[in-house]
Amino acid sequence: MNIFITGTDTNIGKTVASSWLCLHTGYDYFKPIQTGYTEGSDSGTVFQLAGNKIHKEAYVYKEALSPHLAANFEKEIIDVSRIKIPKVENLIIEGVGGLLVPINKDYFVIDLIKYFSVPVILVASSRLGTINHTLLSLEALRARKIETLGVIVCGNLNQNNCDAIELYGKTKMLAQIPYLSDVSNMTLSKIPFTQTLKEIFLV
């Protein structure tokens, strides 16, 4: 099964969550669009943290900007039809930014998910404001009839926010990944893989 990892915002914990999922499942990893490459790639981070097979990005840009702007800086336009999902059975696909980040004049990230026709895990923050951001993201996914498996929350543990997201968002809280001062293969491997995720990934 292929699963798309998206987030409520940028720098929300998608890559850490993707690494953690790959580490516990053995899934391959694919980041279709990478921006901000001068600061390193998310593919490189996942390989360092999980060691799983990494598939080459379809588009890579230097500027740490929304894909449509990063492409414009390099005088390109992203052609979604050129983005092909690797032909493997089990794949984590990580998005860029949040759901309504523009890819080109016609497509947002959420449209790319719809184009791929794969289920989603939504990554959210534990901090103040996350309830609103997460519920809005869930509404957007439902409006496009995209299957959403549940939510992973990253950051300082906050059970009240998690309970509210689960209740008002009518979704499953799949896991909480606590704030890690040192993100490494060892620290990620110590975070228990929940029973709900084991059932989803059949591990």
> Hey, what are 68's tokens?
């449509």
114 among known catalytic residues: no
Give CA 199 to chain center in angstroms. Answer: 19
- Which of 14, 31, 56, 114 is catalytic? The answer is 31
Maximum C-alpha span of the chain: 46
Instruction: Let me know: does 127 contact 111? Beta carbons within 8 Å.
Output: no
45 closest CA partner among 188, 177, 149: 188
- Give me 90's structure tokens: 């089990």
Lookup: tokens for 202: 């059949």
Rounded to whole angstroms, how far apart are CA atoms 201 and 46?
A: 18
The answer to whether 104 and 23 have CB atoms below 8 angstroms apart is no
Residues 35/64, Cβ–Cβ less than 8 Å: yes
Q: Which residues are catalytic?
A: 31
